[in-house]
Amino acid sequence: MDIAPAEDSGQLTFRDAADADVPALVTLIESAYRGDSSRAGWTTEADILQGQRTDPDGVREVVEAPGSRLLVVERDGALIACCQLEHRGDAAYFGMFAVRPELQGAGLGKVIIAEAERTVRKSWGVTEMHMTVISVREELIAWYERRGYRRTGKLSPFPYGDDRFGIPQRDDLTFELLIKDLV
């Protein structure tokens, strides 16, 4: 599907990721959340987590899992964003959302999440979108609230001690479930 956001003249293309995309997707996700490169955007987690955000095995698992899609977003053939969509009964899970840091803040996120919501309604007929966000990420949670997501107060523990998800720089990290009705 092609969409041209008003904020940019380039055409966006959405497609499902393939195994060949995995290395570029890992690079994109890492650049959006970890290390100095992530500081060019506003979604960085560099001050609360060090180490990796994901790895090739984690991305490949999302690409290959039944009931899961990793949506690739390209502009003029270049990878600029991605998001995970997973079918969970009457709901879909939205995760692994990454936009190239230098392109953040230009309205792409709004277009991508709207396309993700449209895609899961059409593909799976779901009535809700779920996601988890690190609860101390107030600015990010506020962004999702402006898109219609609501905080549930349902918390799940951060996987401390599992370096596959990063090395926490603080001891108060939890995930909060956010939900949006899609009907």
Residue 4 — pLDDT band, cuts 50, 70, 90?
very low
Q: Model confidence at 64, in pLDDT bands (50, 70, 90)? A: very high
The per-residue pLDDT of the chain, averaged, comes to 92
Q: For the domain 2-181, what is the CATH code? A: 3.40.630.30
| 162 or 181, higher pLDDT | 181
Q: Which of 97, 103, 76 is CA-nearest to residue 12? A: 76
Banded pLDDT at 3 (limits 50, 70, 90) = very low
Q: What percent of the chain shows pLDDT beyond 70?
A: 95
Domain range annotation of the chain:
2-181
Q: Does pLDDT of 2 surpass 80? A: no
- Name the pLDDT band for 37 (thresholds 50, 70, 90): confident
pLDDT tens-digit readout, 69-122: 999 999 999 999 999 999 999 999 999 999 999 999 999 999 999 999 999 999
What pLDDT is recorded for position 163?
A: 86
| Residue with the larger pLDDT of the pair 3 and 67 | 67
Express each pLDDT in 112-159 by its tens digit: 999 999 999 999 999 999 999 999 999 999 999 999 999 999 999 999
